Amino acid sequence: MTGRLSGKVAIVTGGGQGVGYGIAQVFAREGAKVLITGRTADKLEAAVGALKAAGGEAAWITGTAGVRADAQAAVAKAVKLFSGLDILVNNAQTSRPGILFEDTEDALFAMTIESGLYGTFQHMQAALPHMKEKGGSIINFGSYEGIHGGVGFAAYAATKEAIRGMSRTAARELGQYNVRVNVICPAALSPIAEQWTKDFPEEAEKVMKLISLGYLGDCAGDIGPAALFLASDDSRYVTGQTINVDGGQMML
């Protein structure tokens, strides 16, 4: 399969559903060899089956974001199967929205930080020895809730803003190796977002009113192309940036 990512190897964490799977679909369609990670084997196996049925080349490995050994195992498998690593998408994140700041317990804060910030940090470090040889693209994930400071998102907002800060520092340090680091802040109708809109309809209605284009984006159709841009050579002169792919929810 040829395309804008032909010959490239990508890892997408949390790639069994939602935004991660949408990105994996686009990457595979554009010729990348894709390894997806996640905690549920059945979900990953089904996702890879669908990617292969569509003509893509893909594999999966179970792992928990925030466990360094799992990050190292994912990178090792991608390199062994596909002979390299060019693109890393740090999408995996566990969170519980709707918990007010004063009610946020240590365990919830730790879980959110470990899966998002630590998971991103550890996967980046595991990938770097391979990317430093010939360059690469790292795509991390922030959030409107982090930039804006959404009600009920204390742990999540802290995690996502920490990821953005770390990404800027990494972009400055890794430019000498032609490793680019950028951040996407999406507004997408992922399974988690869909559940949140059901659990908190009043807050969801407020959010929808802030989206200028009037809808939550499609994971593959709206978020995937933005990730494709950052993964491809089309963005070879773009690093250290946050791109809000949110229908005009956040305008900086």
| pLDDT at position 174 | 98
Grade residue 192 by pLDDT with cuts at 50, 70 and 90.
confident
The per-residue pLDDT for range 86-128, each reduced to its tens digit, is 999 999 999 998 899 999 999 999 999 999 999 999 999 999 9
Q: Which residues pair with 140 in a beta bridge?
A: 90, 183
| pLDDT at position 62 | 98
Regarding predicted confidence, which is higher, 207 or 110?
110
Domain ranges of the chain: 9-244
Q: Which two tokens stand for residue 180?
A: 């680019």
| pLDDT at position 195 | 79
Q: In the predicted model, is pLDDT for residue 160 greater than 90?
A: yes
| pLDDT at position 26 | 98
- Residue 25 vs residues 69, 143, 190, 220: alpha-carbon distances, Å: 26, 22, 14, 7
What is the arithmetic mean of pLDDT over 28-37?
A: 98
Q: Which two tokens stand for residue 133?
A: 């040889």
The per-residue pLDDT for range 217-239, each reduced to its tens digit, is 999 999 999 999 999 999 999 99
Q: In the predicted model, is pLDDT for residue 186 greater than 90?
A: yes
Write down the pTM of the prediction: 0.95
Grade residue 189 by pLDDT with cuts at 50, 70 and 90.
confident
DSSP string, 104-133: --HHHHHHHHIIIIIHHHHHHHHHHHHHHH
Contacts of 146 (CB under 8 A, 6+ apart): 153, 156, 157, 158, 159, 160, 161, 164, 185
Among 50-54, 129-133, 175-179, 200-204, whose mean pLDDT is lowest?
Answer: 200-204
List, as own/partner pairs, every contact residues 106-111 make where C-beta atoms lie below 8 angstroms and the sequence separation is at least 24, other chains included: 108/155, 109/154, 109/155, 109/158, 111/155
| 143 touches 157 (CB < 8 A) | yes
What is the arithmetic mean of pLDDT over 202-207?
A: 82
**3-state class (DSSP) for residue 1:** coil
Catalytic site positions:
156
Q: Give the CATH H-level superfamily of domain 9-244.
A: NAD(P)-binding Rossmann-like Domain (3.40.50.720)
| pLDDT at position 1 | 62
Contacts of 28 (CB under 8 A, 6+ apart): 1, 34, 51, 54, 55, 56, 57, 58
Grade residue 196 by pLDDT with cuts at 50, 70 and 90.
confident
Among 4-18, 43-57, 173-187, 197-211, whose mean pLDDT is lowest?
Answer: 197-211
